[in-house]
Amino acid sequence: MTDISKVREMSDKELIDALQQAKQDLWSARFALSTRQLNDTSSIPQTRRTIARILTVQRERAGRVAASTGKGA
């Protein structure tokens, strides 16, 4: 799941689940790195980017809801 369009197609529930899974993956990768068991160190920045994409889409949706209800930031 690296493409932003795939993230935008997800429902709110799917985004929450994907964010939780990505955070768990990041924690596991960092733990494996600290114990020298991680072979693919590029997985850490990739996971961080995935988390950023998910959070971006969540914020976009929250902004749309606030704009449609008339509440500004």
* pLDDT recorded at residue 58: 96
Task: Indicate the pTM of the whole model.
Answer: 0.84
Burial class of residue 43 (count of CB atoms within 10 Å of its CB; 0-12, 13-18, 19+): middle
CA-based R_g, the chain, Å: 15
% of the chain exceeding 70 in pLDDT:
93
Residue 12's pLDDT is 95
Query: Mean pLDDT, the chain, as a whole number?
Result: 91
**CA distances, 43 to each of 23, 58, 69 (Å):** 12, 23, 39
The answer to whether residues 47 and 65 touch, using CB atoms and an 8 Å cutoff, is no
pLDDT tens, residue by residue, 16-47? 999 999 999 999 999 999 999 999 999 999 99
